[in-house]
Structure 1
Amino acid sequence: MTPQSLMLNFLGLYVLDRDIAVYSGSLIDVFGRVDVSEEAVRSTLTRMTSRGLLTKHRAGRRVYFGLTPRSEAVLEDGGRRIWQRGAVNRDWDGTWTLVGFSLPEGRRGERHDLRSRLQWAGFGPVQNGLWIAPGTHDVTEVVADLGLTENVTVFTAQHAKPTEAADLATRAFDTAAIAARYQAFLARWRVPDESLPDDLARQLVLHGDWLDLVRQDPHLPAELLADDWPAIEAEQLFQTLATRYVETAAPLALAAIESIEV
């Protein structure tokens, strides 16, 4: 997990919706608990500020960092993926969103960017130049941002014989790899990591691990997956631990954080 991922998790837990900026020394203290060096924290803060993810404030000789509209949008999206969307799709209506595109070899970079953005949005390649995702997805912003509106065709449809929905899921998505990631999460968190010094450190790593999982998960319909799909147990474990750490980690964070109102 990168220092920036950990930083975003911390900001989502303790800065979002509070209208505050946090002293850089507090951040160095907090991230020292998860073995992120002072140099790495300062480098991460500088990089995130230059990318428009953080604002810098001075009070006397101290420097404080707060959120920008861009970082707030990123954190709110993470919150929705964790607490609203969930890890298991139980509401599928049988509809697929299909994105077809054809870009010549000379536009390889644009093709790579489009594929990356589609994967992030939960799509998988069912065949060359045709990507699918379960449910209805609006990809207008994705293709517009890349300047590819004229090169992409988007529509919704339902599969028909001889094509089976479960076959589409396994063709477009590496379900074995997805399941393995959830199994790895379960193996790591069934017994919380005692090498971490306290529950604040465990909370940050837990949220980072889980958000990384759900962001890589295309949210396939439960009916297309095995009955023992490990995301079900993993989500229950995450919610149990996350609820526990609200009580045990928050006092540690509040004691460590020096902030100003912005």
Structure 2
Amino acid sequence: MQPQTLMLMLFGTYALDQGVSLGAGSVIEVLGRAGVSTHATRSTLSRMVGRDLLERHPVGRKMYFGLTERSTTILRDGRARIWQDGAVNDRWDGTWTLLSFSLPESMQRERHDLRSRLAWAGFGPVQGGLWIAPGDVPAQQIVAELGLAAHARVFRQARADDTTDIAALIADAYDLTEVAARYQDFLDRWDRPDTGDIKRDPLASRLSLVAEWLDAIRRDPRLPVEHLPADWPAVRAQKVFRDLEAAAREPARAIADDLLDTLSSSG
């Protein structure tokens, strides 16, 4: 994983909503356990400040780093995807969000941006300018943020006719092979009899585990599991993740409590 991703996992676990900033020296030590060099960690801290993901808090000769409003929003979203939404959509209510758009040829860049945002939000193209996503997705917010509200129409709580083959619809609108491959990559990395890495260093292993899991699920449209192949790898991958995370959580916390130098936001 990239140093920034591991950094976000560190702050998301031990600083988010806890009213603390983390000392640079202790961040360097923790990421060093995950294989990130001191130079790379220092460079990443500086870049994240420049990207409004972290803010500096100097105290004497020490430097502490805290989360910004932007990074807090990102990390809360990631936390919700991991612990609230999950990777297996087994509670689908049968409804879809539909978005229809039509942009002139002169707006190719806007079309690309819209398609990227829609894919990130779980939409897939049915045909032409018609995209669908399972459940209730804030599509109107997406088009509004891109300044394209006048070019799009949003329909919520839509239902397919009984004659519609939902599994075929999903297969046409989404690249299931690509989505499944991300979960299979996760399983290839973590679904092994030997959990020695977690036992040797629970803190570093947990950071990598959560970072890799979030990378897999955040680009998953969370399609209804009843309409996916019977051997859909997200089911197994989610169990592996949760079992390993539960095993590493408290040992990792104990190490972090010992290593991390924290500064309370109240002074």
Superposition TM-score tier, normalisation by shorter sequence: over 0.9
Report the 3-state secondary structure (helix = DSSP H, G, I; strand = E; otherwise coil) of the residue aligned with 1:216.
coil
Partner of 1:169: 170
Partner of 2:160: 159
Q: Are 2:207 and 1:204 equivalent residues in the alignment?
A: yes
In the TM superposition, structure 1's runs of 4+ consecutive aligned residues that sit over 4 Å from their partners are: none
Distance 2:46 2:144 in 1: 29
CA RMSD after TM alignment: 1.8
Distance 1:243 1:194 in 2: 15
Partner of 1:123: 123
- Structure 2 residue runs without a partner (length 5+): none
- Structure 1 residue runs without a partner (length 5+): none
Report the 3-state secondary structure (helix = DSSP H, G, I; strand = E; otherwise coil) of the residue aligned with 1:30.
helix
Query: Contact between 2:198 and 2:248, CA under 8 Å: does it hold in 1?
Result: no
Same amino acid, percent of matched pairs: 50
Partner of 2:248: 245
Compute the TM-score of the two structures, normalised by the length of structure 1.
0.94
Query: Contact between 1:34 and 1:196, CA under 8 Å: does it hold in 2?
Result: no
Partner of 2:231: 228
Query: Contact between 2:202 and 2:249, CA under 8 Å: does it hold in 1?
Result: no
Q: Which amino acid aligns with 1:226?
A: P
Query: Contact between 1:193 and 1:202, CA under 8 Å: does it hold in 2?
Result: no
1:100-119 mapped onto 2 (5 Å cutoff): 100-119=100-119
Distance 1:45 1:105 in 2: 41
Distance 2:196 2:54 in 1: 30
Query: Structure 1, residues 90-139: CA drift from partner, whole Å, max 9, x if none?
Result: 11122111111122232221111111111111111122222110112122
Q: CA deviation at 1:194?
A: 3.7
Partner of 2:185: 184
Q: 1:197 to 1:244 in 2, by over 3 A?
A: closer
Query: Contact between 1:123 and 1:218, CA under 8 Å: does it hold in 2?
Result: yes
Q: 1:21 to 1:38 in 2, by over 3 A?
A: same
Query: Contact between 1:182 and 1:230, CA under 8 Å: does it hold in 2?
Result: yes
Q: Which amino acid aligns with 1:243?
A: A
Q: 1:193 to 1:108 in 2, by over 3 A?
A: farther
Q: Which amino acid aligns with 2:117?
A: R
Report the 3-state secondary structure (helix = DSSP H, G, I; strand = E; otherwise coil) of the residue aligned with 2:153.
strand
Q: 1:180 to 1:218 in 2, by over 3 A?
A: same
Q: 1:110 to 1:137 in 2, by over 3 A?
A: same
